[in-house]
Structure 1
Amino acid sequence: MTASHWIRALCALHWLTFVVMLPSTAQAWGPSGHRMVAELAEHQVDPAAGREIRRLLGIARAGALADIANWADDVRSDPAQRELSRATARLHFVNFADARCHYDPAGICANGQCVVAAINRYAALLGDRTKPDAERVDALRFLVHFVADAHQPLHAGYRSDRGGNNFQVRFNGDGSNLHAIWDSKILGSRRLGWKDYAHRLGRQVIADSDRDPVDWAEQSCRITRDDGVYPQRRVIDQAYLERMRPIVERQIRRAASRLADLLDRTLD
């Protein structure tokens, strides 16, 4: 092997080591949770908004909102969407400055780089019928995803642990992190497929008049502060999952209700 080959091999090894050491990518609720929010919201929108949603979904070659609910995460693993992924990476969350959970846009959402501003921005784009359909389809994809993100408490916390990614815990005897637990383990502990789970949650719709994404994010932040989300002993057991599950289910219902209302106001 020539010297140049050795250099390229060592560089490749260094890059692989760097990638392996990176913390896992945060995905609020995991794919199932996002689909559940979208499914519940689609059943709550009014007929006029529903017709426009179906038209846009047809352009996206999708049959339901649940089919596009994870697109904003999926672009991260698509080489063709690398620039879009980088441009929207900071739009999945908001980091509050402290435990007061007060939204100060100049301090924590500079240049609109947070989930709160993203929701408002993509709602405006979706509602602008002078824009090309392709742009409005992407706006719908982002909006469905980001509303769910705002309701995942660890996407709107105030601690310096990257939304729980750096908060190490023990789960079933293995090492994990708090964000991974909230991604999927709490919902997964019910051992239901996402559609059956959504059907069960849909039996109790939360009628919520809270329309401001700022309030949604501040509410999520207060959950991380007040509701025992951070286990003191850093051990996740079945009791923790069962204690947190009603909070998760309530947040998914809230997200669905608020997304449906937002789509109605945007598309009617």
Structure 2
Amino acid sequence: MKRLLAAALLCCLASPAFAWGVLGHRLVADLANDELTPAARRAVDTLLAGEKDPTLAGVATWADELRANDPDLGKRSSKWHYADIAENGCADYEPPRDCPNGDCVIEAIRTQTAILADRSQSLDARRQALKFVVHFIGDVHQPLHAGFARDKGGNTVQVRIPTADGGDKGGNLHSLWDSGLIDRAGLDEPAYHARLRALPLVVDMPAHALPPDSPAWAQQSCRIATRPGLYPPGADIDAAYVATWTPLVDEQLRRAGTHLAQVLNAALAR
């Protein structure tokens, strides 16, 4: 199992549209699952019935797999994974400037949550919306998915990524934040889940509050992406970088899990 997971993580490093990689997205979903209300859990079970893995974690990477499994939808939704807002100094969200035509992760979260919450929508439409919401709330909490357009969220910044066995491998800054820092811990999914569960619970969204506060989440991620030192001075990522930034990765994963649970609990309240 560990070997298969490691292979999946390496595949994710090569793709610029992924955020958090397989393990990171599954962890966000696992954390959210812990905090679902009974009503939300029943709705999730109904919506995901028939899926190969009918759990939030089981569909957490579905939106990244669309390019291979449904190229048309994958192309239409490709801009929904990120919002390049760092050039504007992480300023207050202005849709015409920051999300033209609604094609960014901020509006995608709101649009898909509205479909999920709408009982007049078909089961298929709501199932698809649930899978998008699970994924995009993970995406918006990856800081470089709210970063600079000029370097494609760190994709053009080449670095050497340290590995759990003490070696390193080539990659870019985006992939370092997607998977490199997570993989560096050398933990499997249950162990990493337990590590994140030990962090303080984030509660910053009132119960039944919709639409989701995705602009604030993107803005927070942007502020992390623009902190001094996040862009390393050279290509080699050293132990000090790992020690400094891995806690931020963990905090964002933990925060994403709580925010996802809050959104699902509100959207599926009845």
TM-score for the superposition, normalised by structure 2 = 0.86
The aligned amino acid for 2:137 is V
**Match of residue 152 from structure 1:** 142
**Match of residue 192 from structure 2:** 197
Q: Does the CA contact (< 8 Å) of 1:99 and 1:158 recur in 2?
A: no
Deviations 1:201-237 (A, max 9, x none): 1133422214511000000000011252111223212
1:82 pairs with 2:71: yes
Give the unaligned 5+ runs of structure 2.
1-13, 163-167, 206-211
The 1:40–1:171 alpha-carbon spacing in structure 2 relative to 1, beyond 3 Å, is closer
**Match of residue 9 from structure 1:** none
Q: Does the CA contact (< 8 Å) of 1:60 and 1:137 recur in 2?
A: no
The aligned amino acid for 1:127 is A
The answer to which of 173-182 and 49-58 deviates more is 173-182
- Aligned residue for 2:159, secondary structure, equals strand
Using the alignment, how far apart are the partners of 2:243 and 2:20 within structure 1? 16
Query: Of residues 135, 157, 168 in structure 1, which corresponds to 2:158?
Result: 168
Using the alignment, how far apart are the partners of 1:46 and 1:205 within structure 2? 19
**Match of residue 61 from structure 2:** 70
Query: Of residues 85, 97, 101 in structure 1, which corresponds to 2:90?
Result: 101
Q: Does the CA contact (< 8 Å) of 1:42 and 1:260 recur in 2?
A: yes
Counterpart mapping for 1:1-268 below 5 A: 24-78=15-69, 81-96=70-85, 98-102=87-91, 103-171=93-161, 174-210=169-205, 212-226=213-227, 228-268=229-269
The 1:238–1:140 alpha-carbon spacing in structure 2 relative to 1, beyond 3 Å, is same
Using the alignment, how far apart are the partners of 1:168 and 1:247 within structure 2? 21
Paired residue total = 244
The aligned amino acid for 1:235 is D
Q: Does the CA contact (< 8 Å) of 2:199 and 2:251 recur in 1?
A: no
Task: Give the RMSD, CA atoms, in angstroms.
Answer: 1.6
- Aligned residue for 1:235, secondary structure, equals coil
Q: Does the CA contact (< 8 Å) of 1:208 and 1:257 recur in 2?
A: yes
Q: Does the CA contact (< 8 Å) of 1:101 and 1:158 recur in 2?
A: no
The aligned amino acid for 2:177 is W
Superposition deviation, residue 115 in structure 1: 0.1
Using the alignment, how far apart are the partners of 1:54 and 1:174 within structure 2? 40
Superposition deviation, residue 170 in structure 1: 3.0
- Aligned residue for 1:226, secondary structure, equals coil
- Aligned residue for 1:207, secondary structure, equals coil
The aligned amino acid for 1:140 is L
**Where has structure 1 moved over 4 Å in runs of 4 or more?**
none
**Match of residue 209 from structure 2:** none
- Aligned residue for 1:170, secondary structure, equals strand
Give the unaligned 5+ runs of structure 1.
1-22
Superposition deviation, residue 176 in structure 1: 2.2
Using the alignment, how far apart are the partners of 1:56 and 1:227 within structure 2? 43
Deviations 1:91-142 (A, max 9, x none): 0000115252022210120111000000000000000111110111110000
Q: Does the CA contact (< 8 Å) of 2:154 and 2:173 recur in 1?
A: yes
Using the alignment, how far apart are the partners of 2:180 and 2:161 within structure 1? 10
Using the alignment, how far apart are the partners of 1:89 and 1:74 within structure 2? 11
TM-score for the superposition, normalised by structure 1 = 0.86
Using the alignment, how far apart are the partners of 1:61 and 1:169 within structure 2? 36
Rg (Cα) greater in structure? 1
Using the alignment, how far apart are the partners of 1:252 and 1:91 within structure 2? 19
